[in-house]
Every structure is written in C-alpha cells, then in structure tokens.
Amino acid sequence: MPFALTAFSAPAAGTTRRDAAIAYAVCPILLLASGYGLWKWIGLTANPGLGQHDVNFLLIGLVLLPLALFLFLSIVSAQRFEHARLSHSYQLRLDHLQKRLNHQEDLLHSLMDHSEAMAIFDSENRYWFLNKRAAQGLGHAATEIIGKLPSRIMGYERTRRLEARLDEVRSGGYPIEALEQITDAGGRVRFVQVHYEKIARVGDMTDGVMVREEDITSLIVERTRREHMLRQVISALVAVVDRRDPYAAGHSARVGQLARMIAEEMMLDEKQIEAAEIAGSLMNFGKVLVPREILTKTTPLTVDELQRVRDSILTSADILSIIDFSLPVVPTLRQTMERVDGTGLPNGLRGDDILVTARIVTVANAYVALVSPRAHRSSMELKDALTNMMRDIDKTFDRSVVTALANCIEKNAAKLDWLTRTKQA
C-alpha cells in the first residue's frame, strides 16, 4: 500500500475523518490517472504519426502531474499524521503528568492538614516536606526547615537516631515502627510512636522516606500511673502475707526477684518477664486463708496441713482473678502446681503445655524455700539446694528452667545474699 494510504489507514487522534476520507479517495484516483497516462503515453510513442508536442503533453498531463500530486499529497499526509501523532503523544503525557500532580497535590494537602506530625525526607536525608504539626514540634516555620539537614534543626543524638532509621528503611525496603522519647522545642518530654516508610517517588524526588509521628505521651503516662498503682497493690498484698507468716517474711518478694532473673536469663520477652515476677510475688497470697498456727508451726507439717498450704497456692489465682493485670499473671498462678511429668494439679499438664512463666515460678519458689530457714527446719546452702532440685528435673521441674537458675547462681553468686535473708530488705 502506498505511504499516504498507510499513514491514513489508522489515523491518529487529532486527524479528522474528512482528512482520512480525502486521502482514501484522492490517492487511488491519482495512482489510476498516472497509470492510465503512462499506458497512453507508451501507446502514443509507438505511433510515428503523432507529434512530439502531443507526446510531451500526455507525459506531463497524464503521467507526471498526477504522480507529482500523489507525492505531494503523500508528503503532506505524512507530515499531518506525524503532527497528529506527536500531539496525541504529548497530550497523553500531559494528562499523565496532570494526574500525578493532582495526586501529589491531594497527598500533600492531606499531609498538611493531618493531625499527626508528618515529614518527607529526600535521598540525602534533607527535609523535602513537613506539615504544620511537625514544624511546630521542631520550633520553626516549615519554610525555614525544608531543604535543610536534620542536624541543622535538632540535636546530635536525635539526628543520629533519625538518619539511622532512614538508612535502614531504604536498605531494607520495609516499614519500621519504633517508640521514641523526644524533647520538643518547648522542652517537654514526649513519647511518640514513629512510623518510617519508603516512598518511590514524589514529583522529581526519588528514594524518599515518609516519617509519621503519633504522640502517645498521655497513654504512656496513664500506663505508668497504672503500673505504679499495681505495684503498690502488689506490695500491700505481699505485706499481708508477711504479717501472717513472720518466718517466711520476704519470701514472696524474693521469689518474684528470682523469677525475673531466670526469665531474663532465658531471654523471654518483657511481658513474660513481668508476668513471672508478679506471679512469683503473689503465688503465696492464698496463705491469708491458712490458719496462723499452721504457718508458724515449729514441727513438721502433717499431710493434711501440707495439702492445705499447697491448696492455698491455687486459691491465690482465684482471689487475684478480680484484678486486671493485662499480663498472664492469673494463668501462671493457676499452673504453678503443675509438674512437667504430668502428675501435678489441677489439670495434669505436661512439659511445654505448662506456661513457661509457671515453670519458672515453680522453680523460683522451690529454690527460695530451700535456701530460707523455716520454723521447723534450717536453710540449705545455695549449691546444696540446687543439687537437691536437680534430682527432680524432668519430673517436678523443667530442665531448661533449672539450667537458667544454675547460670544465674554462677553469674551472681556474690550478689545473691538477699536469697537467704529472713527479712525483706
């Protein structure tokens, strides 16, 4: 197909239907006219009686002129087609850019009006954008901050921490969240949950990171107040038990301390460590229901009396279940009488079916009891007590917990004098 027909066979956006119709109609006519003229010219040249003037007229009028018009129309058509194609291409790019600009404008407007402090850092860790809330926290106008490095705005430690997080997000490619303590421009200490997220492109800026800060100071303050009140309640409850059994004064506190050391040695998470410590401190609270004469008895306890003391440990969980610890304290207390071989109470749980915090408290309570003097017996040495407990590994006690206890004693032997005190420091 001739070039002009090819150009108009799929007219680009911007060319009209009239242009296409003309091209489709005229170009074949011109080609046919040129072909017809060429055929007639060849026939005339074979006639010796025809003059040269007539031959030239046919050549020019019927062959060359239509062919020239065809070439001219082809060139014009090609130019119009290319112009239309480029116009269409530019329009598509403009529409795409406009959509991106509209999207970015909407994004920036939403960030600007957001209630949380938000900022965007470029690939060189300079401020590319920040909203009013973020600027207020830094004590400067946004126009004074944009384009500057954090080191020009904030202190060394905060800058170092921020830049490390930005580099981590870029290299890892995944969002990061962190709880940070910040001193703002007004000197107030705030606790913020900071979210770092990599963004591919905003305008001409690439490899940026968006940082969003959520102020949770009020939540932290409330949680701290609540924890302080809970500690006061725990101390009061432990004091009640100490007054009931003067020979075991301080036992509960020491069990809690040792349970915490064992949990830390086993590298448990903070919630498990806290639960083990609190449960250890409160596991003997049920003794408030045991008659004082049994607790202060100077001769060995009878089977019934010993069972009553053991039952009081399970009672502790029932009494304390009314307190919202927000930690697995009560479930831990309910399982402190279980045994790893499945012979314990109340449910005969075995091995890992028992909460690790309960297994820790069981070991801590037994060890503190062995190294502490009682009305009816004297105390054991630290190593002798550990040797005694090793006989019940995989029966009463969890092997990994006893191993962690042994490591604690080896590392802190000189600092464990509080274990053998009869009075709480």
Confidence of residue 55 (pLDDT cuts 50, 70, 90): low
DSSP tag of 346: S
Confidence of residue 7 (pLDDT cuts 50, 70, 90): very low
For the cut 60, the answer to whether the pLDDT of residue 167 exceeds it is yes
366 sits in which H/E element: helix 356-371
Q: Over the Cα atoms of the chain, what is R_g?
A: 44
Structure tokens at 298: 């100077």
Query: How many Cα atoms occupy the beta-carbon half-sphere of 142 within 13 Å?
Result: 12
Task: Kindly report the backbone phi and psi dihedral angles of residue 378, in degrees, each rounded to the nearest multiple of 5, phi listed first.
Answer: -95, 175
- 360 or 215, greater pLDDT: 360
**Mean of the per-residue pLDDT values for the chain?**
78
Most confident of 229-233, 317-321, 375-379: 317-321
The pLDDT score that the predictor gives to residue 14 is: 45
pLDDT digits (tens, 9 = 90+) for 347-357: 999 999 999 99
Query: Residue written as tokens 């190294």?
Result: 371
The pLDDT score that the predictor gives to residue 350 is: 94
- 342 or 108, greater pLDDT: 342
* Minimum mean pLDDT range among 273-282, 289-298, 395-404: 289-298
β-bridge pairing 176-183 and 189-202: antiparallel
The pLDDT score that the predictor gives to residue 237 is: 80
Could you tell me if 166 and 152 are in contact, meaning their C-beta atoms sit under 8 angstroms apart?
no
Neighbours of 348 (CB within 10 A): 12
Structure tokens at 93: 């790019």
Q: Rounded to two decimals, what is the model's pTM? A: 0.54
List CB contacts of 258: < 8 A, sequence separation 6 or more. 280, 364, 367, 368, 405, 408, 419
- Alpha-carbon distance 135 to 144, whole Å? 9
- Alpha-carbon distance 310 to 390, whole Å? 21
List CB contacts of 15: < 8 A, sequence separation 6 or more. 8, 80, 81, 84
List CB contacts of 408: < 8 A, sequence separation 6 or more. 258, 261, 262, 265, 416
- 84 or 273, greater pLDDT: 273
For the cut 80, the answer to whether the pLDDT of residue 2 exceeds it is no
- 60 or 116, greater pLDDT: 116
Average pLDDT over residues 247-254: 77
Confidence of residue 232 (pLDDT cuts 50, 70, 90): confident
DSSP string, 155-212: -HHHHHHHHHHHHHHHHH-S-EEEEEEEE-TTS-EEEEEEEEEEEEEETTEEEEEEEE
Q: Is 111 helix (H, G, I), strand (E, B) or coil?
A: helix
Average pLDDT over residues 16-34: 60
